[in-house]
Amino acid sequence: MSEDISKNQYSADSIQALEGMEHVRMRPSMYIGDVGTRGLHHLVYEVIDNSIDEALAGHCDKITVTINEDNSITTEDNGRGIPVGLHKKEGVSALEVVMTKIGAGGKFDKDSYKVSGGLHGVGVSCVNALSSHLRATVHREGKVWEQEYERGKAMYPVKSIGTTNKRGTIVTFKPDSEIFTQTLEYSYETLASRMRELSYLNKGITVVITDKRAKDESGDYFEETFYSEEGLSEFIRYLDETREPIMKSVIAFEGEKNGVPVEVAMIYNKSYAENLHSYVNNINTHEGGTHLTGFRRGLTHTLKKYADESGMLDKLKFDIAGDDFREGLTAIISVKVAEPQFEGQTKTKLGNREVSSSVSQAVSEMLTDYLEENPDDAKTIVQKVILAAQARHAAQKAREMVQRKTVMSIGGLPGKLSDCSEQDPTKCEVFLVEGDSAGGTAKQGRDRAFQAILPLRGKILNVEKAMQHKVFENEEIKNIFTALGVTIGTEEDSKALNLSKLRYHKIVIMCDADIDGSHISTLILTFFFRYMKELIECGHIFIATPPLYLVKKGQKKQYAWNDKERDDIVDKFGGSAGVQRYKGLGEMNATQLWDTTMNPEFRTLRQVQIDNGTEADRIFSMLMGDDVPPRREFIEKNAVYANIDA
């Protein structure tokens, strides 16, 4: 009798497992966020997370990721290898359970809690479910084991295919074109920047990434190796490569506080930007949370105490606020939390209360020591804080001016704005257009029912180099704020944006398709990234893509967006087709601009996304900062289309 029951239970469970995998295929976004570029890349992170877990448990120190020629991915690690023995409850190999059962998670021993884990933490079975083919190869206890799957279903039982003296797991998967209908193409840059980030966050692991789709000058596959001996303090140096430090060394802390592993590293530089990056279990917590609050509290408290005791604040006529302690600060906070509670719009805000005091204690400890041991740096920092407070008072006044203008703006929209007639913001679009003449063409070409035009004068202010009050005093920038209906700042959180009155849900940057145009787009993007990041995060910012060529023969006319398209059209038209190269928006007439770039039926808008906030921050400061050589190198490397991972 008992045998019967267990048999029934087994089949009931396996049906449930099957349903789990089917469910992943039916509702992939529930598991990996989306089925676009992001979800596609997420598959790789999901597999790698298991390897990182092995490394954190001390069993693995090398991970390789390969983009194969066919855009399948191979990951390999030298961890313990997924167990292959019989899984008693399921009656099949543990490997098969890990690969085909949703929520099996992998780790059967409860003692080693899983600290890594992707944003969704769904495990490698989910990757399997969403792959048309996956092969798992395990080197373990002298043998090589293998199993293959199609759309998550095992093709045969786990088999031994040879002997080995290595250990580890190799997974090769091909994302399913039935699921990923938008794109199956991996971005080397996106994967590489995540691997670089992981190597800094988990020091001592070697991460190698190879792109078999591309070869370098000497005919070898394109490959990079990331390895960090020091972890976060090296990460800080990397992020601040193009900023000038105002102190001798990076301040760093690593240890456990109240059972929470905490790592912090920070440095002050000469810029005015605050660059805080926080991670929980290797996930970038864009929205911050309790660990970030703890950091801020520890920092403010310790610096204030030091400044008070040193007497440097004695004659100060104005107050010092929290923000002032963070101007020109670059910091990374990385914590490991056993059961993280993620909150917020994008589920990237840590909710666990207990973490706040752990981080705050860690920061107070490390900073107090540093200030005591480095009195010169301590003075420099306090002086910088005082200057920041002074500038903030000036900025406050400038901001109040913008605010007042915005509040009065019913009927007080910028003169240069050609507004649309639609009142519902979800249906409205605004085009930010480079130059008055292209602005004029856009104004004629648009559908005035729902499209507004705001021409911008030439190069807008480079906000990366300007102090805050200069930014808020700038005419073009004031116009953008007023036109969009966005207001800034309440007393408590001076940088929070108020998007409730946003007047257009699509904000489209429309510039020439040349170097100057890219530069202007980048300036505008830098402004949004530094001052209105929420607009990017909520998916409101787009880039228009005007065509590069018009191919004509007799009555036939077709536009081309790149050289290959142009050549294909010339071939199709045959012989004496004429090619016109558009140097700028100004060379198109209103109808052409509407047909190719503005008409929602035919245009392509590129939505601006931040795939890696930490890397995006570094790139903006490099592109827009003072240091020329790295910028030149970046532009040369990305010459065709400056692809700013953002």
> Which residue's CB is nearer to ligand 0RA, number 210 or number 614?
210
DSSP string, 349-408: EE--TTHHHHHHHHHHHHHHHHHHH-HHHHHHHHHHHHHHHHHHHHHHHHHHHHHHHHHT
The footprint of ligand 0RA (CB under 6 A) covers 50-51, 54, 77, 79-80, 82-83, 98, 106-109, 124, 169
**Burial of 23 per CB tally in 10 Å (0-12, 13-18, 19+):** middle
CA-to-CA distance for 362 and 266, rounded, in angstroms?
Answer: 13
> Which residue's CB is nearer to ligand 0RA, number 83 or number 517?
83
Per the CB < 8 A criterion, the answer to whether 252 and 366 are in contact is yes
**Burial of 292 per CB tally in 10 Å (0-12, 13-18, 19+):** buried
**DSSP, res 507:** E
Q: Among residues 517, 531, 526, 631, which one has the least CA distance to residue 582?
A: 517
CB of 146 to ligand 0RA, least distance (A): 14
Tokens of 266: 């920070």
> Which residue's CB is nearer to ligand 0RA, number 107 or number 552?
107
> Which residue's CB is nearer to ligand 0RA, number 41 or number 257?
41
3-state secondary structure of 597: helix
3-state secondary structure of 125: helix
3-state secondary structure of 194: helix
- Helix axis angle, 628-637 to 613-624, nearest 10°: 120
Tokens of 171: 């997974």
Looking at the DSSP bridge assignments, the partners of residue 153 are 150
CB of 80 to ligand 0RA, least distance (A): 4
CB of 11 to ligand 0RA, least distance (A): 24
CB of 98 to ligand 0RA, least distance (A): 5
> Which residue's CB is nearer to ligand 0RA, number 54 or number 512?
54
Q: Residue 479: phi, psi to the nearest 5?
A: -60, -40
Per the CB < 8 A criterion, the answer to whether 350 and 287 are in contact is no
| Torsional class of 615: left (φ above 0), alpha (ψ -120 to 50), beta (otherwise) | alpha
CB of 500 to ligand 0RA, least distance (A): 44
Supply the residues annotated as catalytic: 434, 512, 514, 516
**Nearest residue to ligand 0RA, by Cβ distance, number only:** 50
CB of 104 to ligand 0RA, least distance (A): 9
CB of 261 to ligand 0RA, least distance (A): 20
> Which residue's CB is nearer to ligand 0RA, number 60 or number 265?
60
Per the CB < 8 A criterion, the answer to whether 552 and 578 are in contact is yes
> Which residue's CB is nearer to ligand 0RA, number 47 or number 593?
47
